[in-house]
Homo-oligomer: A and B are copies of this chain.
Amino acid sequence: MSTAKTAEPTIYERRESEARSYCRSFPVSFARAQGATLTDADGNCYIDFLSGCSSLNYGHNDPDMKAALIEHVSTDGLAHALDLHTDEKAAFLETIETLILRPRGMDHKVMMTGPTGTNAVEAAIKLARKVTGRKNVISFTNGFHGMTLGALALTGNQGKRAGAGGVTLPDVTRMPFEGALGEDVDTLAVIETMLSNPSSGIEPAAAFVVELVQGEGGLNAASTEWVQGIARIARAHGALLIVDDIQAGMGRTGSFFSFDHMGVEPDMVTLAKSLSGFGLPFACVLVRPEHDIWKPAEHNGTFRGNTHAFVTARVALEKFWADDRLRNQIALKSQVLEERLHGIAARIDGARIKGRGMMRGIDVGSGELAGRICAEAFRRGLIIETSGAHDEVVKVLAPLTIPMEQFKQGLDVLEAAVDTLVPFPMAAE
């Protein structure tokens, strides 16, 4: 009888593409979400250390954004407006100008692209190529920038690239990220040497596209010195600097941008994921005005400028970035996180801490072990995923706004999961 039951395919088996993935790791149906807590259809609660891959930095259904969105919908505010002017767009632009750009002396324009990170990346590299008249774009080992062909060319992961079915992904040159060649090799020197050699075979670059913390690539965090070096090399070689802050921005590493306080000013910045604040599809490219040479509609798209997202994004900026409270909270939680992860890592032979701010994790040495830790954590009520070229990093992406109590509770679960899986003697070594 139970056999008969399992034989009947679920709606997902019947109708959802095999491309689905997260639902395979967390095979329950989620019904409600609030803050850092997810509740499944059976009423079980889970602590969310995944946060929509950093799309929910302010947690689920923040009450102020929720209220504003309900108000907007209730009063027949526009849901879809192409790139027409709306009061909501104006308010968003004014808020990001006032709270984010002007305080940093950034005169960047905001280009609303199709509401996905990959679209923002595509727009940025198209524009960089237009601006410079060059085609080659430098991207980095373990970088992840999206799945459409232009962004996929920048993405390092071989499995993702294979999804293109064998077409060449041209006009990109891969350079080593900081540390990618081992401790002994100065990657800045390698890059500088290669680009300065007129017989290196590397075409002049339109842009460098770089994540300051590689979210999918294993939480590799670049040092300030390295980031400055990249900025300097890019400028020296006439290339634009594009920071992909889709995963690392919006507070994830401690400040709004991952490059804050590093003394660099990117020519372009791509933003998505937590930009709407509420998990709604929304993306943009910040671009220096002198580079904003688009003709009208030269890069367009139906869903640019999601009006619902303008509403929630404005509230998010006003609520969290008008003062230092969130920044201080992140700093505090980052410390707690670092300490706890060190404690956990100490139990695993060869494990090491990676990342920065609230974007941290443990390289446990193998994807197999990392996967088992996450599965065990889920069994215990924690949603957490892996990252890295071999899926070898257990990655903590808790909401930045998670209450401290719940944060520690989640870390306790993680620690317990590790304890269960890593036999004591070995951990004790």
Contact = CB atoms under 8 A, between A and B. Distances in A.
Nearest to A26: B84
A158 to B, nearest CB: 5
A340 to B, nearest CB: 25
Contacts of A119: 114, 116, 118-119, 147-148
A142 to B, nearest CB: 4
A26 to B, nearest CB: 6
B73 A61 contact: yes
Given A52-B302, A300-B147, A302-B116, A287 B17 contact: yes
Contacts of A38: 78
Contacts of A278: 79-80
Contacts of A150: 148-150
Interface in A60-116: 60-61, 66, 69-70, 73-87, 89-90, 93-94, 96-97, 101, 109-112, 114-116
Contacts of A66: 73-74, 76
Q: Which of A30, A143, A156 has the most CB of B within 10 A?
A: A30
A76 B90 contact: no
Interface string A168-208: 10111110100011100100011001100111111100100
A350 interface: no
A17 B148 contact: no
B80 A56 contact: yes
A337 to B, nearest CB: 22
A90 B12 contact: yes
Contacts of A146: 301
Contacts of A198: 157-159, 389-390
A28 interface: yes
Given A115-B303, A300-B21, A197 B168 contact: no
A74 B29 CA distance: 19
A228 to B, nearest CB: 21
A298 B12 CA distance: 17
Contacts of A16: 89, 93, 109-112
Contact of A18 (B148, B168, B279, B296): B296
Interface stretch (A125-133, A257-265, A326-334, A409-417): A125-133
Contact of A87 (B41, B142, B163): B41
B165 A168 contact: no
A201 B142 CA distance: 7
A157 to B, nearest CB: 5
A78 B30 contact: yes
B97 A156 contact: no
Nearest to A296: B21
Given A32-B76, A142-B197, 13 more contacts: A29-B87, A30-B86, A30-B87, A32-B78, A52-B302, A60-B80, A61-B76, A118-B301, A156-B200, A158-B201, A160-B300, A165-B206, A199-B218
7 A-B pairs with the lowest CB-CB distances in the bound complex, closest first: A80-B279, A129-B165, A149-B150, A17-B111, A156-B201, A199-B389, A21-B297
